[in-house]
């Protein structure tokens, strides 16, 4: 049986308390939310934090989904299952429903959190592509105050994020715009598995022309989980099959997939193009 190395355990009762505990225990302390990524890593000794700061008691501060000032605000402690069931989130952005239905299984979704998913920074993580497609903003808090970071700058590399030592991811914010449609397409080897490849699309159309496009990609080596060149191709064009196929081609061209147990690189590149095309078509149909 694999067991983690010994560690101190503290349960935070507020965000302020969690930040104090992080400062007290220093850079070797780690936050634990759902624990679905961190605990397996600790059991394998890939992570050996000296202290775990449990933030599961902070639902009042970090577990809400609201609309504030024209933005959808999703707390970092919102569970996957809560996001899946939240019509506040899924009515304006069905991309959340598409993605959450195929993230892991109900056991993981009942416990795993939005913040934990993003902070884990796994290159195959689904919500990173979703929030990249949505041009979302991450709110990070430390002892010195809060700052916002575009989600497209949040991931600094595999398993590396903009959340520094002593800081917490607090919230994700998504601008709510009229005339927007969204969708997510994923290929997985079996139900509940990580993606072989997946693509999210968000389109805003005004007067028959795409005024804003968002494309998110995961598991295919897309820099910062997005496809800006394909978005640029779409902006200013009317939505349509030809434009979507070309955007998929451009998105795939800028990916750098790696061959692994989930498939060869050329298959993943093919999926990047095809899933982008399908997500765009579904998003346009939902406007």
User: Smallest gap, in angstroms, from Cβ of residue 15 to ligand FAD?
Assistant: 9
| Whole-angstrom distance, CA of residue 282 vs CA of residue 97 | 13
Total of residues contacting ligand FAD (CB under 6 A): 27
Residue 223, SS3?
Answer: helix
β-strands 71-75, 160-161 pairing: unpaired
**CA 237 to mean position of chain CA atoms:** 28
User: Smallest gap, in angstroms, from Cβ of residue 233 to ligand FAD?
Assistant: 27
Nearer of residues 168 and 213 to ligand FAD, judged by Cβ = 168
116 binds ligand FAD (CB under 6 A): yes
What CA–CA distances, in Å, run from 241 to 150, 151, 271, 274, 279? Answer: 30, 28, 17, 12, 11
User: Smallest gap, in angstroms, from Cβ of residue 232 to ligand FAD?
Assistant: 27
Site for ligand FAD in 45-84 (CB under 6 A): 76
Select from 88, 110, 120, 177 the one that contacts ligand FAD (CB under 6 A).
120
186 pairs with which residues across the strands? 198
| Whole-angstrom distance, CA of residue 287 vs CA of residue 283 | 7
> Interacting stretch for ligand FAD, rule CB under 6 A, among 111-119, 130-138, 209-217, 278-286?
111-119
Nearer of residues 168 and 230 to ligand FAD, judged by Cβ = 168
| Whole-angstrom distance, CA of residue 92 vs CA of residue 200 | 15
Applying CB under 6 A, the residues found at the interface with ligand FAD are 30-38, 76, 103-104, 108, 112-113, 115-117, 119-120, 125-127, 163, 168-169, 194
């Amino acid at each position: 049986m694999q067991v983690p190395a010994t560690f101190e355990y503290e349960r935070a009762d507020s965000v302020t308390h969690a930040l104090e505990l992080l400062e007290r225990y220093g850079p070797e302390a780690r936050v634990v939310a759902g624990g679905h990524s961190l605990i397996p890593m600790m059991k394998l000794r890939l992570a050996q934090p000296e202290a775990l700061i449990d933030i599961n008691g902070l639902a009042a501060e970090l577990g809400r989904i609201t609309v504030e000032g024209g933005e959808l605000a999703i707390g970092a402690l919102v569970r996957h299952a809560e996001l899946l069931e939240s019509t506040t989130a899924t009515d304006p952005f069905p991309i959340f429903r598409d993605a959450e239905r195929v993230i892991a299984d109900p056991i993981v979704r009942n416990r795993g959190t939005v913040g934990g998913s993003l902070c884990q920074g796994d290159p195959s993580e689904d919500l990173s592509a979703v929030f990249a497609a949505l041009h979302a903003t991450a709110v990070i808090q430390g002892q010195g105050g809060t700052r916002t970071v575009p989600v497209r700058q949040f991931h600094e590399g595999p398993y590396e994020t903009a959340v520094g030592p002593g800081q917490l991811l607090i919230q994700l914010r998504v601008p709510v715009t009229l005339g927007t449609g969204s969708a997510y397409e994923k290929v997985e080897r079996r139900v509940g598995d990580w993606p072989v490849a997946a693509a999210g699309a968000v389109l805003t159309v005004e007067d028959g022309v795409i005024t804003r496009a968002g494309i998110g990609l995961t598991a295919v080596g897309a820099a910062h989980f997005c496809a800006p060149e394909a978005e640029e191709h779409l902006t200013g064009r009317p939505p349509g099959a030809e434009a979507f196929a070309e955007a998929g081609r451009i998105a795939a061209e800028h990916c750098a997939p790696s061959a692994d147990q989930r498939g060869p690189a050329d298959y993943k590149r093919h999926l990047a193009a095809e899933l982008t095309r399908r997500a765009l078509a579904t998003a346009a149909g939902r406007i």
